[in-house]
A and B are shown apart, each in its own frame.
Chain A
Amino acid sequence: MDIGDLKKRIFIDLTKVKDLAELEQFRIKYLGRKGEITFVLKSLKDLSIAKRKKLGTEANQFKKEIESKIENLKSQLIKQETKTKEREKKIDITAPGIRIVHGHLHPLTHIMRKIEDIFQSMGFRIIEGPDIETEYYNFDALNIPQDHPARDAWDTFWLKTKPQRLLLRTHTSPMQVRFMEKNNPPFRIIVPGRVFRYESTDASHFYNFYQLEGLMVDTHISIANFKAVVEEFLKKLFGEEIETRMRPSYYPFVEPGFDIEMKYLSSDWLEIMGAGMVHPNVFKSVGYVPGNWQGFAFGIGIDRIAMLKYKINDIRLLYSSDLHFLNQF
Chain B
Amino acid sequence: MKVSYNWLEEYVEKLPKPEKLAELLSVHSFEVKSVEKSNEDYILDIDILPNRAHDCLSHIGIARECVAVANSKFKIQNPKFTESKNLKTRDFITVEVQDRDACPRYTARVITDIKIEPSPTWMQKRLAAIGQKPINNVVDATNYVMFETGQPLHAFDYEKLEGKKIIIRGARKGEKIITLDNEICELNEGTLIIADAKNPLALAGVKGGKKAEITVKTKTIVLESANFDIKVVRATCRETGIKTESSIRFEYGLDPNLTEEAINRVTQLIKGKITKGIVDIYSKKTLSVRMRLNLSKIENILGIRVSKQQVIKYLKSLGFIINDSLRVTVPTIRRDIEIEEDLIEEIARLIGYNNIVTSHPFGLLGMARLNDELIVTNKVKTIFESAGFNEVYNISFVGEADIKKFDVNREGYIELENPLSIDLKYLRKDLLINLIKDIKDNSKTFLREDKAIKIFELGKTYRQENKKIEEERMLTGLIVRRSGKMKGESFYETKGLIDSLLNKLGISDVWYDDFQATPEWTDNIFWQRTETAEIKVGDEEIGFIGEINTTILNKLNIKAEVAAFNLNFEKLLKLAEEELIYKPPSLYPAAVRDLAVLVNLEDRVADIQNIIEQIGGELVFDVDLFDMYEGEEIPDGKKNLAFHIIYQSYEKTLKDEEVDKIHRRIIRELEKNKNWEVRK
Question: Which among A116, A124, A257, A294 is the interface contact of B301 at CB below 8 angstroms?
Answer: A294
Of chain A, the residue at the smallest CB distance from B451 is A101
Q: How far is the CA of A137 from the CA of B602 in the complex (A)?
A: 56
Q: Which of B154-162, B309-317, B386-394 contacts A (4 or more CB under 8 A)?
A: B386-394
Number of A interface residues in the complex (CB < 8 A): 80
Q: Is the CB of A125 within 8 A of B251?
A: no
Known contacts A224-B359, A256-B348; A159 and B414 CB within 8 A of each other: yes
Question: Which among B29, B234, B345, B371 is the interface contact of A255 at CB below 8 angstroms?
Answer: B345
Of chain B, the residue at the smallest CB distance from A199 is B420
State whether the Cβ of B446 lies closer than 8 Å to any Cβ in chain A. yes
B424 cross-chain contacts in A, Cβ below 8 A: 207
State whether the Cβ of B136 lies closer than 8 Å to any Cβ in chain A. no
Q: Is the CB of A126 within 8 A of B371?
A: yes
* Residue of B339, B341, B367, B382 most packed against chain A (CB within 10 A): B341
Q: Which of A4-12, A21-29, A315-323 contacts B (4 or more CB under 8 A)?
A: A315-323
B344 cross-chain contacts in A, Cβ below 8 A: 255-256
State whether the Cβ of A89 lies closer than 8 Å to any Cβ in chain B. no
Known contacts A126-B371, A222-B302; A321 and B441 CB within 8 A of each other: yes
State whether the Cβ of A324 lies closer than 8 Å to any Cβ in chain B. yes
Of chain B, the residue at the smallest CB distance from A152 is B50
Q: Which A135-189 residues have a C-beta within 8 angstroms of B?
A: 147-150, 153, 157-163, 165-166, 168, 186
Q: Which of B174-182, B259-267, B460-468, B642-650 contacts A (4 or more CB under 8 A)?
A: B460-468
Q: Is the CB of A228 within 8 A of B358?
A: yes
B464 cross-chain contacts in A, Cβ below 8 A: 161
A228 cross-chain contacts in B, Cβ below 8 A: 358-361
Q: Which B330-380 residues have a C-beta within 8 angstroms of A?
A: 339, 341-342, 344-345, 348-349, 353-354, 356-363, 365-371, 373-374, 378
Of chain A, the residue at the smallest CB distance from B374 is A126
Known contacts A150-B51, A255-B345; A321 and B455 CB within 8 A of each other: yes
Question: Which among B391, B396, B442 is the interface contact of A194 at CB below 8 angstroms?
Answer: B396
Q: How far is the CA of A108 from the CA of B392 in the complex (A)?
A: 10
State whether the Cβ of B415 lies closer than 8 Å to any Cβ in chain A. yes
State whether the Cβ of B198 lies closer than 8 Å to any Cβ in chain A. no
A225 cross-chain contacts in B, Cβ below 8 A: 303, 358-361
Of chain A, the residue at the smallest CB distance from B392 is A321
Q: Is the CB of B302 within 8 A of A161?
A: no
Q: Is the CB of B416 within 8 A of A160?
A: yes
Q: How far is the CA of A127 from the CA of B387 in the complex (A)?
A: 28
Question: Which among A108, A149, A198, A249 is the interface contact of B252 at CB below 8 angstroms?
Answer: A149
B382 cross-chain contacts in A, Cβ below 8 A: 105
Q: How far is the CA of A318 from the CA of B394 in the complex (A)?
A: 9
Q: How far is the CA of A147 from the CA of B236 in the complex (A)?
A: 12
Q: Is the CB of A108 within 8 A of B303?
A: no
Question: Which among B28, B251, B358 is the interface contact of A231 at CB below 8 angstroms?
Answer: B358
Question: Footprint of B on A, CB under 8 Å?
Answer: 101-106, 108-109, 113, 116, 119-120, 122-128, 130-132, 147-150, 153, 157-163, 165-166, 168, 186, 194, 196, 198, 200, 207-208, 216, 218, 220-225, 227-229, 231, 245-250, 252, 255-258, 277, 279-280, 294, 318-324, 326-327
5 closest A-B pairs by beta carbon, nearest first, are A224-B303, A222-B303, A256-B345, A246-B353, A158-B417
30 intermolecular pairs with C-beta atoms under 8 Å apart: A102-B386, A103-B385, A103-B386, A103-B387, A104-B385, A106-B391, A120-B368, A131-B396, A132-B427, A148-B50, A159-B416, A163-B467, A196-B396, A198-B418, A222-B300, A222-B359, A225-B303, A225-B359, A231-B358, A247-B28, A248-B345, A255-B344, A256-B344, A256-B345, A256-B348, A280-B339, A321-B435, A321-B455, A323-B455, A326-B390
